[in-house]
Amino acid sequence: MKLYNTLTRQKDEFIPLTPGEVKMYSCGPTVYNYFHVGNARPFIVFDVLRRYFEYRGYKVTFVQNFTDIDDKVIGKANDEGVDFNVIADRYIKEYYVDADGLGIGRATVHPRATETMDAIIDIVQRLLDNGHAYLAENGDVYFRTRSFADYGKLCHQPMEELQAGARISVGEVKEDPMDFAVWKAAKPGEPAWDTPWGSKGRPGWHIECSAMVNKYLGPTIDIHSGGLDLTFPHHENEIAQSECANGCTFANYWLHNGFLTIDNEKMSKSKGNFFMVRDAAKEFGYETIRMFMLSAHYRTPLNYSADSLEMSKASLARLYEARSNMEFRMEKAAGDTMTVEEAAKCEELGRYKQKFIEAMDDDLNTADALSAIFELTREINAYMGAHQDATRAWLRAAHGLFMELTGVLNLVQKREDAADPEADKIEALIAQRAAAKKEKNFAEADRIRDELAAMGVTIKDTRQGTQWSRA
């Protein structure tokens, strides 16, 4: 498997630190609001990466954090007149609602910054002890950026160019414009923690992730991932402070997903084109959003529009219809042994699994992987159409391969149709319609079809019987 490594600017063969195991960290949400469709992209993409590693037999330890102490969290709490934990608890709960809807699995660990305070304070103390950080006169602790010779290696910018945009604001007490805070001295009314260096306060954003990686995965990990916008300064600063504190490589592979635009414009609150996942899901459904996010390679820019979502919704519906057709035929078919022709066809279908794996091995190319799934689906549909007497054994094999590949992407796995509250009534009406047709009472058969249509039910007459689905 090859992954595009931001650090090396090329596709590198993935070689884990420990054979058969993957240590992976992905930056999670700052929990002061619902997350938006731009946030959803890395959550979905790196969930699929984790699933694919597991599909290929790796044991994955996946950590995704919650930033629960931050200026935005504190600001929201102050606006509502509540403790910051009230805000954090609320939006962590809401994160899981949207994440579950999008098919994003739980991480191995979901640490909160406030639950990792001992580890954060420990790493800041180590940076102070070895001279890579210093205590300013106002109680802030800053990382001494020029003490790290490799600063800029992730964003591939020399220190001189990065320094051009850096300034020391009035009232700041940094030694150098490039230095950044790893600890912020307490301000009136803000939550604060005691420290060995005597400066009560709270951590800077960058140090939180470094500490959580170190605590739950160790000083060196296989993969660190996140959105492209986090490359600098967040991930660059994580590397600097982590490698200075631990004296070793922080992460071997850095993966970043491309930006999401809205109707070909950068997503922005000021432009009013800022969509929460919760709102988009009401219109298109959560799984449609997941399908949309996986329809393009994760590193390419992706444009969010109603037309794009409608196309993804239609594509998803085709896959669900194919699954439904297979399962309907399996229920009606006979024969637990494949014919010679079917065995040969089954072996032929295996090439789509190989195409799927080749796409995923090539820097997680979900777009090409989906193409392989649709090609497989067309092949299965064509064979079922031409072979109305296909055996149950062949149908099970085709269905199993279809579910295996879609399962890696966690698409087409829902079973809401099986729990339809009107299923018994629908089946009874279908039976009445069949009886009416047998008696050549076509007017009654048409009336029942119209009644089913009014209930939102689509029916299809086949040699194996009448198949129904929700429109």
Candidate from 176-180, 423-427, 441-445 with smallest mean pLDDT:
423-427
- Report pLDDT for 38: 92
- Report pLDDT for 186: 94
CA distance 44 to 304: 15
CA distance 69 to 205: 8
pLDDT band at 167 (very low <50, low <70, confident <90, very high): low
From the list 38, 113, 116, 33, the residue with the least C-alpha distance to 79 is 33
- Report pLDDT for 272: 67
DSSP secondary structure string for all residues of 275-308: -BHHHHHHHH-HHHHHHHHHTS-TTS-EEE-HHH
pLDDT digits (tens, 9 = 90+) for 220-276: 999 999 999 999 999 999 999 999 999 999 999 999 999 999 877 766 555 667 789
Question: Domains along the chain?
Answer: 2-257 (3.40.50.620), 333-414 (1.20.120.640), 417-470 (no CATH)
Candidate from 165-179, 227-241, 346-360, 417-431 with smallest mean pLDDT:
417-431
Let me know: does 309 contact 442? Beta carbons within 8 Å: no
Distances in whole angstroms, Cα of residue 412 to Cα of each of 225, 319, 321, 381, 390:
26, 7, 10, 16, 23
Let me know: does 392 contact 338? Beta carbons within 8 Å: no
pLDDT digits (tens, 9 = 90+) for 100-156: 999 999 999 999 999 999 999 999 999 999 999 999 999 999 999 999 999 999 999
- Report pLDDT for 219: 98
pLDDT band at 471 (very low <50, low <70, confident <90, very high): low
Q: Look at residue 419 and tell me whether its pLDDT is greater than 80.
A: no
Q: Look at residue 463 and tell me whether its pLDDT is greater than 80.
A: no
What residues contact 338, with CB distance under 8 A and at least 6 apart? Answer: 346, 391, 393, 394, 397
Of residues 268 and 192, more confidently modeled: 192
Element holding 206 (H helix, E strand): helix 205-217
Q: Look at residue 427 and tell me whether its pLDDT is greater than 80.
A: no
- Report pLDDT for 138: 94
pLDDT digits (tens, 9 = 90+) for 58-75: 999 999 999 999 999 999
- The C-alpha torsion from 107 through 111 and 112 to 117, rounded to 10°, is -170
pLDDT band at 416 (very low <50, low <70, confident <90, very high): low
In single-letter form, the type of residue at position 398 comes to: A
- Report pLDDT for 169: 66
- Report pLDDT for 268: 59
Element holding 437 (H helix, E strand): helix 423-438
- Report pLDDT for 83: 96
Q: Look at residue 39 and tell me whether its pLDDT is greater than 70.
A: yes
Q: Look at residue 202 and tell me whether its pLDDT is greater than 70.
A: yes
pLDDT digits (tens, 9 = 90+) for 285-330: 999 999 999 999 999 999 999 999 999 999 999 999 999 999 999 9
From the list 128, 111, 127, the residue with the least C-alpha distance to 243 is 127
The pTM is what?
Answer: 0.89
What residues contact 358, with CB distance under 8 A and at least 6 apart? Answer: none
- The proportion of the chain whose per-residue pLDDT surpasses 70, expressed as a percent, equals 95
- Report pLDDT for 444: 84
Candidate from 259-263, 334-338, 361-365 with smallest mean pLDDT:
259-263
Q: Look at residue 87 and tell me whether its pLDDT is greater than 90.
A: yes
Q: Look at residue 166 and tell me whether its pLDDT is greater than 60.
A: yes
Q: Look at residue 92 and tell me whether its pLDDT is greater than 60.
A: yes
- Report pLDDT for 81: 95
pLDDT digits (tens, 9 = 90+) for 12-23: 999 999 999 999
